[in-house]
Amino acid sequence: MSGSTATGQVGQVGQVGADGATGPGSRGLWAPPARAGFLRSAAPWRAAGYLLATGLSGLLLCFGLLLSGLVAGVLTVVLLGLPLAAALVLAGVPIAAWERRLVRFLDGGRVPDPHLVPHHPGLAAWLRLRYREQATWRELGFALLAAFVLWPIDLAVAGCVLAVPGYLIAALPLLLRDGEQVNVLKVVVVHSPVTAALLGLAGLLLLPLLAYPLAVLAAARAALVRLVLAPGGQEQRIGELVRSRARLVDAFEAERRRIERDLHDGAQQRLVALTMVLGLARLDAPADGPLAARLAEAHREAGEVLAELRELINGIHPQVLTDHGLPEACADAADRSPVPVDTRFELPGRLPAPVESAGYFAVTEALANLAKHSGASGATVEGRFADGRLTIEVTDDGRGGADPARGTGLTGLADRVAVVHGTLTVSSPPGGPTLVRVEIPCAPIDRGAV
């Protein structure tokens, strides 16, 4: 039995380059401390808030991982800890999403999500994809780094920058409230209001000076997040290729529709008018003269050209697909096939236009191939929707041996299906039968939205 499967690795790798702006790069992160007006801006406070947030979330993550690891280790004895241990591998996914959001809070730049979109709906498909992705393991490594290394540094720096000047500034008010002495930073005991005032002045001067190393550390940590948690070069190229292909297909579909509309409203209407004029001319011409024969020939040729044009328009994008949906369009294609075809569809309603278009052209290409190459005496087209997936199967009783590698049009069809996250499978052993299966993940839409 020979079979082949063409699968589109279609997903969206975050939003890399989708709108031409993914936030500042590494130079942009270091720019705020160096620019004029840095101290008057919100950048120092954002840096302090960023480090406090990362430090506190890292502390909570540390306790959470230690507790979960302990529970998983204890329950492993009775095999109940294995699912928990497997789930801990994915702990980096929400942590990474939180870290990317915090970076956006710091500098307004967006760190793209490196994860692909599963081809099929459901938790199982999501888990299979996540465990295979390199980004998942990078995020797990970063989560461990944040939980056991980074958070003490973040809290220590943010705490010192805010606490030391704060204690110095508060020295005089605390002394005036106590009346006798104040212990500043548990290091200096101050009895004189003058000394306390000088310490307060030192704190006011120290606060803006410490804002610079605070911002530098926050920028360094954000740069680490971008380095580890943003898509790598290969992931970015894959994402851009996927989006580029989708844009090209969308542009191609739009051009097809424009050509269909122009032919339908322009050339076809003029041919219809020409056919009517020739018919009227035949009525006026003498029946036994040479002019009548020539008009009859011209009338017949115009009718044949009109029929060919209508067939061409229908092949570009059938109006029945737009008006009535996939089952009716496939039934119309089956009626026009020289091989008897039985169609059966069980769909909950209209599907997204790209899905209907991909399904329809898969059916028409399969019917064209079986009419030309299979020698089949009959075929069936079955379509159904289940588990968030449209499945279309075209089966014939021909001689088999279909191979997409031989240029039967199935390779281009696989590319079209791949753009809508679908797969095309061909099973065609020598002697038949041949089965062409198309599977496209999708969701039904309201008929009024079509």
List Cβ neighbours of 220 (8 Å cut-off, separation of 6 or more): none
pLDDT confidence of 36, banded at 50, 70, 90?
A: low
User: Would you say residue 22 has pLDDT above 70?
Assistant: no
User: Would you say residue 111 has pLDDT above 50?
Assistant: yes
Q: Write down the pLDDT at residue 313.
A: 63
From residue 185, alpha-carbon distances to 60, 159, 209 in Å are 27, 13, 19
Contact predicate 116/12, CB 8 Å: yes
Long-range contacts of 364-367 (CB under 8 A, 24+ apart): 364/315, 364/333, 365/409, 365/410, 365/413, 366/394, 366/436, 367/333, 367/334, 367/337, 367/339, 367/341, 367/394
Each domain of the chain, given as residue ranges in start order, spans 17-230, 247-449
Q: Write down the pLDDT at residue 11.
A: 35
CA dihedral 176, 181, 187, 188 (to 10 degrees): 80
User: Would you say residue 395 has pLDDT above 60?
Assistant: yes
Provide the 8-state DSSP code for 36: T
Pick from 10-24, 25-39, 223-237: least confident: 10-24
> Cβ of 60: how many Cβ atoms within 10 Å?
12
- The pTM (predicted TM-score) of the whole model is 0.52
Distance between CA 262 and CA 345 in Å, rounded? 32
Long-range contacts of 138-141 (CB under 8 A, 24+ apart): 138/92, 138/114, 138/228, 138/229, 139/92, 139/93, 139/95, 139/96, 139/228, 139/229, 140/89, 140/90, 140/91, 140/92, 141/92, 141/228
List Cβ neighbours of 337 (8 Å cut-off, separation of 6 or more): 367, 371, 379
Per the prediction, the chain carries an average pLDDT of 78
Q: Write down the pLDDT at residue 7.
A: 41
**Parallel, antiparallel or unpaired: strands 3-7 and 341-346:** unpaired
User: Would you say residue 391 has pLDDT above 90?
Assistant: yes
Q: Write down the pLDDT at residue 413.
A: 77
The pLDDT tens digits of the residues spanning 123-179 come to 888 888 888 888 899 999 999 999 999 999 999 888 888 888 877 888 778 777 776
3-state DSSP call for residue 241? helix
3-state DSSP call for residue 139? helix
Which residue type sits at 198? L
Pick from 79-83, 224-228, 253-257: least confident: 253-257
List Cβ neighbours of 259 (8 Å cut-off, separation of 6 or more): 316
Distance between CA 425 and CA 213 in Å, rounded? 59
Q: Write down the pLDDT at residue 23.
A: 44
Percentage of the chain beyond pLDDT 90 is 18
Distance between CA 183 and CA 173 in Å, rounded? 12
- Displacement of CA 132 from its chain's centroid (Å): 17
When pLDDT is averaged across residues 61-86 and rounded to a whole number, the result is 82
247-449 has CATH 3.40.50.1370 classification: no
User: Would you say residue 283 has pLDDT above 60?
Assistant: yes
Q: Write down the pLDDT at residue 238.
A: 61
Provide the 8-state DSSP code for 9: -
User: Would you say residue 352 has pLDDT above 90?
Assistant: no
3-state DSSP call for residue 381? strand
The pLDDT tens digits of the residues spanning 298-319 come to 888 887 777 777 666 666 667 7
Q: Write down the pLDDT at residue 344.
A: 93
User: Would you say residue 271 has pLDDT above 70?
Assistant: yes
pLDDT confidence of 60, banded at 50, 70, 90?
A: very high
Q: Select the more confidently predicted residue: 414 or 8.
A: 414
